[in-house]
């Protein structure tokens, strides 16, 4: 079976279950590349450099900003996060679906630079109450960070209308089914240039 490349952006509050969703659909969406972000934040217990994130110093990160090596980057909770261009371009050439797990700022940047190829999904919990429960249950962050994440989530939810799709991750299996359908559709997206070329050819052969 042949596959087309595409970009699939997933955004949503920390604790909404984006990582669990991606793991659930990984073997059902064809060849893909999960874009690993580069960050200046400290590594957490259990995290592996080059698997969860590329961990770099602030100085290194700023050099990459100057060299325009990022598709998007943002300063979040005092740390930089960014998406390197090179592996994304390579994955697209290999007809892979490139999946991003980035915030609303990152979504803006990707849409501005590669909107023709981008399909976006906002993933969230059924309510703010459920999000608070999940973040507290996770116990990976201090209360101050959890509070910051909750405040950010309230702001991000206000921007859901900027996304193509909304997934309410209440039941993981159901949410995964929806995401598989969206991932397949993301590969079908046709860039404007290709549409213009088709229309021109269609009319020329009249």
| Domain presence at residue 131 | yes
pLDDT at residue 164, as a whole number: 97
| Domain presence at residue 72 | no
pLDDT at residue 206, as a whole number: 72
The CATH number given to whatever domain includes residue 190 is 3.40.50.300
Sheet containing 97-101, strands listed edge to edge, beginning at the edge strand earlier in sequence: 32-34, 97-101, 6-11, 118-124, 165-168
Apex 170 CA angle, 165 and 176, nearest 5:
60
| Domain presence at residue 55 | no
The arithmetic mean of pLDDT across residues 86-93, rounded, is: 90
Model confidence over 156-165: pLDDT tens digits?
999 999 999 9
| Domain presence at residue 78 | no
| Domain presence at residue 147 | yes
Which positions ≥6 away from 117 have C-beta within 8 Å? 5, 6, 7, 92, 189, 191
Q: Which domain holds residue 146?
A: 6-35+96-204
| Domain presence at residue 87 | no
Q: Taking a C-beta distance cutoff of 8 angstroms, is the pair 99, 8 a contact?
A: yes
Question: What does pLDDT average to over the chain?
Answer: 92
pLDDT at residue 171, as a whole number: 96
pLDDT at residue 38, as a whole number: 92
- DSSP for 106-138? HHHHHHHHHGGGEEEEEEE-SSHHHHHHHHHHH
Model confidence over 47-68: pLDDT tens digits?
999 888 899 999 999 999 999 9
The arithmetic mean of pLDDT across residues 141-147, rounded, is: 86
**Number of structural domains, the chain?**
1
Is 137's pLDDT higher than 90? no
| Domain presence at residue 42 | no
- CA dist 121 and 167 (Å) reads 7
Which positions ≥6 away from 155 have C-beta within 8 Å? none
| Domain presence at residue 111 | yes
pLDDT at residue 1, as a whole number: 61
pLDDT at residue 99, as a whole number: 96
Q: Taking a C-beta distance cutoff of 8 angstroms, is the pair 108, 169 a contact?
A: no
| C-alpha distances in Å from residue 96, one per residue of 8, 19, 31, 116 | 11, 19, 5, 16
pLDDT at residue 77, as a whole number: 81
pLDDT at residue 44, as a whole number: 87
């Amino acid at each position: 079976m042949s596959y087309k490349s595409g970009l699939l952006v997933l955004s949503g509050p920390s604790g909404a279950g984006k990582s669990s969703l991606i793991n659930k659909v990984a073997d059902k969406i064809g060849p893909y590349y999960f874009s690993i972000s580069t960050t200046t934040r400290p590594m957490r217990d259990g995290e592996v450099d080059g698997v969860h994130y590329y961990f770099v110093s602030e100085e290194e990160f700023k050099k990459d900003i100057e060299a325009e090596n990022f598709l998007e980057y943002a300063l979040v909770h005092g740390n930089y996060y960014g998406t390197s261009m090179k592996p994304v371009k390579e994955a697209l050439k290999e007809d892979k679906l490139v999946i991003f797990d980035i915030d609303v700022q990152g979504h803006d940047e990707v849409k501005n630079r590669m909107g023709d190829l981008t399909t976006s999904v906002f993933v969230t919990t059924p309510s703010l109450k459920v999000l608070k429960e999940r973040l507290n249950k996770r116990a990976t962050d201090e209360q101050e960070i959890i509070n910051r994440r909750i405040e950010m989530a309230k702001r991000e939810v206000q921007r859901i209308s900027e996304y193509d799709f909304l997934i309410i991750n209440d039941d993981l299996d159901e949410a995964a089914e929806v995401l598989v359908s969206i991932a397949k559709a993301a590969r079908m997206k046709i860039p404007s240039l290709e549409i213009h070329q088709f229309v021109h050819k269609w009319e020329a052969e009249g």
